[in-house]
Amino acid sequence: MNEKEVHGMLIDYEYCTGCHTCEVACAQEYNWEEGVSGMKVIEIVEKLPNDRYYLVYLPFPTEACSLCIGRVKKGMEPQCVKHCMAKCLEFGPVENLLEKMKGKKRTVLFRPR
Partner 1 sequence: MNQEGFHIIRTTTWSAGPGCHGGCGVIAYVKDGKLIKVEGDPDHPWNQGRLCARALAMKQYVYHPKRLKKPLVRKGQRGEGKWEEVSWDFAYDLIEKRMKKIRDEFGPESFIFAMGTGRDIGPWICMLAYAYGSPNVMFALSGNACYSPRIAALDTFQGDYCVFDAGQWFEKRYDDPRFVRPECMIIWGYNIHSTCPDNLFGHWIVDLMKKGTKIIVVDPRLTWFSSRAEIWLRVRPGTDSALALGLLHVIVKEELFDRTFLERWTNAFLLLRTDKNVLLRESDLIPNGKRENFVVWDKNSERVAFWDTEKLEFRPASTTPSFSCEIDLACVDGNTVRCHTVWDAFRKRVMEYDPSTVEKITGVPKEDVIRAARMYAKSKPASIHWGVPIDMTPNVTPLCHAIACLWALTGNLDVPGGNVVARFAFDAVAYALPGAEGIIRLKSKEQDIPRIGREKYGPFQKFIWRCQTDTAFEQIFSEKPYPIKGMWIQTLNPLAGIGMDPKRWREALLKMDFVVGVDLFMTPTLMYADVILPAATFLEKEGIRSWWVPLQSINKALTVDECKSDAEINFELAKRFDPEFRWKSLEELFDEIIKPSGLTYKELKERVWVLPTEGHPSHPYLRHEKGLLRKDRKPGFQTPTGRFELYSVLREEWGYEPLPIHEEPPFTPVSRPDLTKDYPLILSTGRRSPAYFHSEHRMIPWLRSIDPDPVVEVHPNTAKKYGIADGEWVYVENWMGKAKFRAKVTPIVPEWMVMATHGWWFPEKNPEEPELFGVWESNINLLIPMGQHGKDGLGAPIKHLLCKIYRA
Interface residues with partner 1 (CB under 8 A)?
15, 17-21, 23-25, 27-29, 32-35, 45, 47, 53-57, 82-87
Minimal distance, residue 3 CB to partner 1, in Å: 22
Report the residue number, 21 or 97, with the smaller CB distance to partner 1.
21
Single-letter code of the amino acid located at 56: V
Minimal distance, residue 84 CB to partner 1, in Å: 7
Minimal distance, residue 94 CB to partner 1, in Å: 23
Write the DSSP assignment of 27-83 as a string of letters: HHHHTPPTT--SEEEEEEEEEETTTEEEEEEEEEE-TT----HHHHHTT---HHHHH
